[in-house]
Amino acid sequence: MKSRRITPQDRELIAAASEVLRRCYRKGRHTVGAAVRCPSGKIYTGVNVEACGYGPCAEPVAIGAAFSNGEQAISAIVAVCKRGRRIVVLSPCGNCRQLVLDYSPGATVLYSQSGRVRKATAAELLPGAYRTSFDEG
């Protein structure tokens, strides 16, 4: 995968995800924060929702917040969690990778690899992906 430089906009997105996690962190309930940037430039955030059996990850909550506010796509996304006293970038799970791919295959995804923040497009992170009827291409 092609290496891409982390930009000030990427750092701003990480900061937004970190802030929502700091505000909403509740052990066993809300342990992951996410932020999405939309083509409009606006940033939307969300936290995971733990529940008995299943709870959505933070990424779909943030994407839902964006779409609930009239956005139609996302241009970048990141998720973070606490590790001790630090907040670190996470790699998205397979379901979240598929969700971003379905709605915005060209969106930049910030993720963690070997302790470093990396970025790639949603399509690059899920090669050979199942394509849904939402696909326009």
CA 108-57-135 angle, to 5 degrees, is: 50
Q: Which residues are catalytic?
A: 59
d(CA 65, CA 37): 11
CB 42 within 8 A of CB 59: no
CB burial readout 59-92, b (16+ within 10 A) else e: bbbbbebbbeeebebbbbbbbbbbeeeebebbeb
